[in-house]
Amino acid sequence: MSNYLVKVSESEIKQDKNQRNYKTVMFSEVVMMKTPFGEVLKPASQTRTRANNCYEKSYLNDKEQPGYSDSIFDPRNPSKGGLFQGEIVSAMVEPYDIIDTRTGEVKVVDKYTAIVFGDSDSPSFKADVRAAFKSQGHIISEEAAPMVILAKEEVEEVTSF
């Protein structure tokens, strides 16, 4: 079963240095796991939440990004929206620098986490993952690519009894 993301909060509309409107949106995973009793919802305390800047007009294609104008998910009325196919994916990427704003120290890191929209059970999801990382300026390391694909399968095996 495909995993889902729910929109749990959003900021007011902000503008970037190029005067493009965006909101910082928080998405949480809704993950199904296999148990002896069948597939069940993973507890919210064991899932991840991540912020994402969602643009009114994307720099990539001038289209509105998922989450920008969608409602915050309401479990009492899911038909209002705020539910998306996708998942939060972490992967090894080409090393990049980050600056610790408190100390000014530069660190080199090689792991990145991104929100990836799409059917996580589809064979094309691997391409969706690569595209999401690339659009955020990160290339998945070739030697790490098989690990990204295996991670989901390994989790399913571990949670199967």
What pLDDT does residue 125 have?
93
Q: Tell me what percent of the residues of the chain surpass a pLDDT of 70.
A: 88
The residues spanned by each domain of the chain are 4-159
pLDDT digits (tens, 9 = 90+) for 9-36: 999 999 999 999 999 999 999 888 888 9
What pLDDT does residue 151 have?
45
Is the dihedral angle over the CA atoms 102, 103, 105, 111 positive or is it negative?
Answer: negative
Q: Name the pTM for this structure.
A: 0.76
CA 98: distance to chain centroid? 20
Could you tell me which of 52, 36, 29 has the C-alpha nearest to residue 136?
52
